[in-house]
Amino acid sequence: MRNKTTVSQAISRELLKMIEHGKFPPGSKLPSEMELAAHFGVSRIPIREALSVLRAAGVITSRQGGGSYVEENAATSLLHHIRIEQDDADIIKHLFEMRKILEPEAAYLAALRRTPEQLQQMRNALKRLEIECNDEEKTGQKADIEFHSSIIQATQNPIMIQMMENLSALYERALKITLKPNLKLKQRRKAALKEHRNILSAIEMEEPELARIQSAIHLKNAEKKLSLLL
Amino acid sequence: MRNKTTVSQAISRELLKMIEHGKFPPGSKLPSEMELAAHFGVSRIPIREALSVLRAAGVITSRQGGGSYVEENAATSLLHHIRIEQDDADIIKHLFEMRKILEPEAAYLAALRRTPEQLQQMRNALKRLEIECNDEEKTGQKADIEFHSSIIQATQNPIMIQMMENLSALYERALKITLKPNLKLKQRRKAALKEHRNILSAIEMEEPELARIQSAIHLKNAEKKLSLLL
DNA sequence: ATCATAAAATTTGTATTACAAGCTACTATT
DNA sequence: AATAGTAGCTTGTAATACAAATTTTATGAT
């Protein structure tokens, strides 16, 4: 089932290694595609696909007719992204630590900047959360995600939005992997709901500091529950 | 000087947008390269280059003969599709806002967890910063980056490290694009150096709260300077 | 000799055709 | 009906060609 690595992928990694190793220092010009093709003993196609990856990652830039150049500050982020192997309980703690840092600040910003529409979105999500809370069948997880997501959106900061989106996705995936089919989350649901209401009302009242504190409290309690499950 | 976007880059963005929009839900199979080529009215080459970017970003996987499929967890790439267009001076403010949130917390964690080696790394970076500060030629930017980076490393949190790495890369690139060269950053260098020393000494003394405060002060002052340049 | 301009040579971007390697689905044989 | 085999897609790579943009060289004027 393993994905065999293709020539273009191998070349992409190889070129990146060369760049990181200083073989092509920042600002320098790469050999032409023809030269690279000759050097690796392949056609231009795998070379171009490898270069397009490095280009998308911000490692190089290319100008038609001009050649490809190594960026001054090569952000190699694309290639070594965080992968969650099997049950790594440590990673969950690290992910949660980032949530504890980011979410209270997001609540703070949301209290400052939320539009009426975004406020309504939070109210709707909370309402659904209340309904599902009483339903033994539903987990309410989706509404929960939506509530938190609407707060993030209200920060109006695209970087925050992007970071939290990725962080949440990683967190949920990590939880799903490590926590087997699960366990009653019910006993804390009522309490969590109240915490959510507190956050929302702080945002409604446009009280950023309070929103930050309420969010921090919520996360602190969630962490307690989490530590029991690990 | 403006980098004209190529067909393959446009298609890469377009496909990503379609995937994010749910046109191709997670787990689903993409049309074949021939079909995509016909749909976009281009040859296979730009299609393949676009797909290779999405593949490298972890958005899709491809098997020879089998086709390309949307990954289940398509959001694992941290921050990638944030494009810095030139007229976005706003993005710098958003990026800086995230720095103000993350860096003081990183300093806090670093004060708790730094190893002796990491402490030494910070001292070395600071020393180089002091030397370059007196040299009119050097900008000291590299040492500055190294100092901050070593603090991030000391948090021992891989998620934090990854996020800050991406954030810094974006920030530097954005600065370089919007702020044309030049501009003397010198007048604040002495003051900034002192702030750096304060952060380091708090981390040395293992006083997390103090480290957080010192980092926040440093960023607050840096923000003042930044707002003058925008 | 120097500088401006035009032509030539490179180099990236895309198209076309071709084929190998691997996967899918259908068919035929039992 | 189950299984093996085959035909047909689909991705991966090659080779060639040409357009578009850039860099280098050559040319010409002053």
Task: From B70, B102, B120, give the residue that closes a domain.
Answer: B70
Lowest mean pLDDT segment, chosen from A55-64, B28-37, B40-49: A55-64
Q: SS3 of A59, please?
A: coil
Q: By the 8 A CB rule, do A188 and A221 touch? A: yes
B82 within some domain: no
Q: How many domains does chain A have?
A: 2
Task: Give me the residue from A45, A53, A101 closest to B56, CB to CB.
Answer: A53
User: What Å value separates CA A51 and C1' D21?
Assistant: 19
Work out the average pLDDT over B170-195: 71
Same-domain status, B102 and B188? yes
Work out the average pLDDT over A35-48: 96
Give kind and range of the element (H or E) at residue B70. Answer: strand B67-70
Same-domain status, B222 and B113? yes
pLDDT in tens, A163-184: 898 788 778 767 766 665 555 5
Name the CA dihedral angle for B103, A156, A113, A140, rounded to a multiple of 10 degrees.
-90
Same-domain status, A33 and A65? yes
* CATH code: domain of residue B177: 1.20.120.530
Residue pointed to by tokens 């150096």: B193
Please report the pLDDT score of residue A176 as a whole number.
66
Work out the average pLDDT over B138-149: 83
Over chain A, what is the mean pLDDT?
Answer: 85
Task: From A36, A56, A78, give the residue that closes a domain.
Answer: A78
B1 within some domain: no
User: What Å value separates CA A186 and C1' D1?
Assistant: 50
Same-domain status, B101 and B204? yes
Please report the pLDDT score of residue A209 as a whole number.
98
Same-domain status, B62 and B168? no
Q: Which domain, by its residues, includes A114? A: 89-229
Same-domain status, A204 and A129? yes
Instruction: Give the separation between CA A6 and CA A12, rounded to whole angstroms.
Output: 10
* CATH code: domain of residue B22: 1.10.10.10
A1 within some domain: no
B81 within some domain: no
Work out the average pLDDT over B36-48: 96
Chain B from 28 to 67: CB within 8 A of any A CB: 45, 48-50, 52-53, 56-58, 61, 63-64
A200 within some domain: yes
Same-domain status, B99 and B206? yes
* More confident of the two residues B73 and B101: B101
Residue closest to A149 by CA, chosen among A112, A103, A116: A103
Chain B from 166 to 185: CB within 8 A of any A CB: 166-167, 169-170, 172-173, 176
